[in-house]
């Protein structure tokens, strides 16, 4: 996917109502008060393209930065938020609201904007040992 396609996916989710129950969508997962999209990076299978895993991770991070730059043009500079402490609190047994609980176990940090009553976050996650993916969250739930 390109930055323009990522922006279109975020716009689509911003305009979509939140479901009453957790479920899957064509872009990822949605639940009460949130959408969590897994956006495909430009290189989905690094080994098929002869790209080393480290290079694929770096490319995905660069795509995330490009997306954050595009969103910053719309909404101003983001907050850069570490989710490490949220993840540790969750592991220790504290109840963390979705999507923040799930997001904190997928990525270390996110770019975060508050726009029109919703939080929009983008970050990078290791999908498995060979793939990286961009994450986008649209939620009405305040960060913990």
**Number of separate domains in the chain:** 1
What single DSSP character describes residue 46? G
* Angle made by CA atoms 42, 44, 136, in degrees to the nearest 5: 65
Contact (Cβ atoms closer than 8 angstroms) between residue 44 and residue 51: no
Give domain status of residue 53, yes or no. Answer: yes
Give domain status of residue 34, yes or no. Answer: yes
Q: List, in order, residues 6 or more apart from 52 with CB less than 8 Å away.
A: 46
Specify the pLDDT at position 128.
73
Specify the pLDDT at position 48.
46
Q: What are phi and psi of 16, to 5 degrees?
A: -95, 140
Q: What is the mean pLDDT of each run of 10 residues along the chain (144 residues)?
A: 92 95 92 93 52 72 95 97 96 96 94 97 84 92 95
Give domain status of residue 11, yes or no. Answer: yes
Give domain status of residue 144, yes or no. Answer: no
Residue 36's domain comprises 3-139
């Amino acid at each position: 996917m390109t930055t323009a396609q990522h922006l279109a996916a975020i716009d689509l989710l911003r305009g979509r109502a939140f479901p009453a129950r957790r479920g899957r969508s064509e872009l990822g997962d949605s639940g009460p008060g949130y959408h969590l999209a897994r956006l495909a990076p430009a290189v989905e299978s690094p080994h098929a393209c002869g790209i080393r895993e480290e290079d694929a991770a770096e490319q995905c991070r660069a795509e995330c930065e490009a997306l954050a730059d595009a969103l910053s043009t719309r909404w101003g500079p983001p907050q850069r938020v570490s989710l490490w402490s949220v993840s540790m609190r969750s592991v220790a047994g504290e109840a963390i609201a979705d999507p923040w609980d799930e997001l904190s176990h997928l990525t270390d940090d996110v770019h975060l904007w508050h726009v029109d009553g919703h939080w929009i976050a983008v970050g990078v996650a290791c999908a498995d040992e060979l793939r990286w993916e961009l994450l986008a969250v649209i939620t009405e739930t305040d960060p913990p």
